Amino acid sequence: MATLGFIGLGVMGGRMARRLLDAGHTLTGYNRTRSKAQGLLDAGMSWGDTPRAVAEAADITFSMVANTAALRSVTGGPDGLLAGLGPNKIYVDMSTVSPVFSQELSQQVAAKGAAMLDAPVSGSVITLEEGKLSVMVGGDKAVFEKVKPIFLDIGPKVTHVGRNGLAVTMKIATNLSLAVQMLAFSEGVLLAEKSGIQRETAVEVLVNSVIASPMVKYRGPFVLEMPDEAWFDVNMMQKDMNLALELGHELDIPLPTTAVANEFLTAARGMGLDKQDFAVVFEVLAQMSGLKK
């Protein structure tokens, strides 16, 4: 079995690393905030003092960080992941970041004699814990085939979508629908509620109706009770909407529903709700409709 490394042990990365340990892999990990890694260290993960140390220790290094700025920070500089790469090593970034930066990074990785895959995931904390996460992969097909068995330890659906940068593009194309669907769902609930239907009843009908995507099924009930900790907060959601809008602008593809849903995320931030799950767009619309929580 290849020796693995994991950089970025937050909500998603920490749980992925756990699945890799549970599958019997040897794992070295790094997180900017070391305390968050304690549970994994107790479960047998080794600690790398820097991203570079992790890449030096591993045959295949994974990263899962918040955004493009975080990825620049863990990959660049003398202690960065790139400095620890060399021939025969593979680097897999699973974060949702700028496709342009992801592609640039793959060239820098190639210059080190190593290979990179972009492998963002679609799903949530729950999907991940249930082992049902989908992984989209960009990069060389032969490298993809080498890493595929490890991806399958994270989730059951693994799809090679094309060259470097295209998986993260596919991920952005997927994620714009999350906020759009949540806003449309909120419109339906509020229309029903202001007409005299109990909010609980409207939610029950909608999450069992033809419009109930997996996301609407698990996030729809958040309009009745928001989770204490966001599954995917407003800032994170807006990061993906902005990436989609940038891409749309670049390719001359209008994204009208993305643009409108994005404005509701801006409104949520304006209302101080940025750390809440993005399902809070419901509350923004409820307030505009004269309906209280």
Per rule CB under 6 A, is residue 70 in the interface with ligand NAP?
yes
Among 17, 21, 74, 109, binds ligand NAP (CB under 6 A): 74
Q: Which residues of 82-121 are buried (b: 16+ CB within 10 A; e: fewer)?
A: bbbbeeebbbbbbbbbbbbbbbebbeebeebebbbbbbbb
Give the residue with the Cβ less far from ligand NAP, 95 or 276.
95
Site string for ligand NAP, 189-228 (x = CB under 6 A): ----------------------------------------
The active-site residue out of 112, 148, 171, 275 is 171
Cβ contacts of residue 284 below 8 Å, gap of 6+?
A: 264, 267, 268, 271, 273
- By three-state DSSP, how is residue 198 classified? coil
Shortest approach of ligand NAP to residue 36 CB, angstroms?
5
**5 three-class SS:** strand
Those residues whose C-beta lies under 8 Å from the C-beta of residue 244, and which sit 6 or more positions away, are 172, 173, 175, 176, 255, 258
Decide whether 216 or 236 has the Cβ nearer to ligand NAP.
Answer: 236
- Residue 180 near ligand NAP by CB under 6 A: no
Site for ligand NAP in 118-147 (CB under 6 A): 121, 123-125
Q: How many chain residues are in contact with ligand NAP, going by CB under 6 A? A: 26
Site for ligand NAP in 86-105 (CB under 6 A): 95-96
**Is 148 an active-site residue?**
no
Tell me whether residue 83 or residue 190 sits nearer to ligand NAP (CB atom): 83
Q: Cβ of residue 144: shortest distance to ligand NAP, in angstroms?
A: 19
For residue 274, give every residue at least 6 positions away whose Cβ sits within 8 Å of its Cβ, in sequence order, or none: 233, 234, 235, 268
Strands 157-162, 121-122: pairing is unpaired
Maximum pairwise Cα distance, the chain: 66
Kindly compute the dihedral angle of the four CA atoms of residues 179, 247, 174, 37, in this order, to the nearest 10 degrees.
-80
Q: Which of residues 1-40 bind ligand NAP (CB under 6 A)?
A: 8-13, 31-33, 36
Smallest distance, ligand NAP to C-beta of residue 252, A: 25
Question: How near is the Cβ of 6 to ligand NAP at its closest, in Å?
Answer: 10
DSSP 33: S
Does the protein bind ligand NAP through residue 281 (CB under 6 A)? no
How many residues in the chain?
293
When asked if residue 172 is in the footprint of ligand NAP (CB under 6 A), the reply is no
Task: Report if residue 236 touches ligand NAP, rule: CB under 6 A.
Answer: yes
Q: Is 8 left (phi over 0), alpha (psi -120 to 50) or beta?
A: left
Pairing relation of β-strands 121-122 and 134-138?
antiparallel
Q: Where does this chain touch ligand NAP (CB under 6 A) — which range of 52-60, 63-71, 80-88, 242-250?
A: 63-71
Least separation, in Å, of the C-beta of 122 and ligand NAP?
A: 6
d(CA 174, CA 164): 17
* Binder among 21, 53, 60, 65 for ligand NAP (CB under 6 A): 65
Question: What are the residues binding ligand NAP (CB under 6 A)?
Answer: 8-13, 31-33, 36, 64-66, 69-70, 73-74, 95-96, 121, 123-125, 231-232, 236
List the catalytic residues. 171
